[in-house]
Amino acid sequence: MIRRYTPQDVPQLVMFFSECYPDDSHSGRDVRNRISHIRSLGGLAWVVALEDGEIAAFAWITPVPGLSHIAELEGGVAVRWRRQGYGSRLLQHILVDLKGSQFKQLSFAVERLDSPAACLLQQQKFFVEHSENVLWCENITNLPVLTQKAGAQVVTFDRKTAVAHFTQLYNNIFRSHPWYQPYTAPEVADLLMDPDEMLFLKINTEISGFAWLNMIEDHTGVIEPLGIGGNFQGLGYGRYLLTAAMHKLAQQGAQRLQIGAWANNQPALHLYHSLGFQHHKTVTYLAHDLC
């Protein structure tokens, strides 16, 4: 039976996640909190429940921040129930269930277009929407020298000021780009754990750029997003800000640095490569129009 998730599914979902993702720990509280968070954002979740209550497949969608008509699709099929049609039936059920809803497009990220998930999605008329490159810099002991640039300095602000500056700058810088995903002040405030994570580029008296820093597992420091105002692009300010961000993350204990860029954003990729970043993987986003 395919149906919407209910809290009574948590014990079976603990076993489902433990089988599908054995390297991670999964408690009832973890699963319950995770799905509650997804639902609090306006997301939905479905299960394929067998007669004995076992969960054979699970999927959920989460609205994309700033683009509430697009939902990110995630999920999977338990190992011993794969290649028996459960994934296909669950996907078809979701597509029917979402007709007439607020969502107009589904998006699913894959690392290989020949993977089972990607092949299944493409059979259901998912198409390649765009690809993003993930780059790593692993030579932390030999970072580019941070050379001061005349009239420029890297600064931080208190939380309220940082949120206001970032929201305005991000939307102004990226509004005309195909990868633009708008941010609202409440979303930024919710995501920003520490205002010192957000570096701003001040050129003379104007706040002209930003770099959002984050530390994730395995001592990896992430720089994303990064942006420079159009009037100051191509003048070396992006290199200056990115170099400062790299040094700050290294000082915080990062053993590897990560940054992302659209696969066809050649100016950004050229800058990142010149500062020691190398291609790690490409993530392709498959999309399906619901309307």
pLDDT band of residue 26 (cuts 50, 70, 90) is confident
| 190-198: average pLDDT | 93
What does the pLDDT read at residue 67? Answer: 84
What does the pLDDT read at residue 207? Answer: 97
Question: Residue 66: is its pLDDT beyond 90?
Answer: no
CA 166 to chain centre: 18
Superfamily of domain 2-103: Gcn5-related N-acetyltransferase (GNAT) (3.40.630.30)
Mean model confidence pLDDT for the chain = 93
* Domains 2-103 and 135-282 in one fold: yes
* Closest of 183, 159, 154, 158 to residue 170, by C-alpha: 183
Give percent of the chain above pLDDT 70.
Answer: 100
For residues 57 and 73, give the distance between their C-alpha atoms in angstroms, rounded to a whole number: 13
What does the pLDDT read at residue 181? Answer: 83
Domain boundaries, the chain: 2-103, 135-282
- The structural architecture, per CATH, of the domain 135-282 is 3-Layer(aba) Sandwich (3.40)
What does the pLDDT read at residue 232? Answer: 93
* Closest of 133, 145, 183, 138 to residue 163, by C-alpha: 183
pLDDT tens-digit series, residues 208-261: 999 999 999 889 999 999 999 988 999 999 999 999 999 999 999 999 999 999
Question: Strands, DSSP E only, in the chain?
Answer: 2-4, 44-49, 55-64, 67-77, 105-110, 127-137, 152-155, 198-203, 206-216, 220-228, 256-262, 278-289
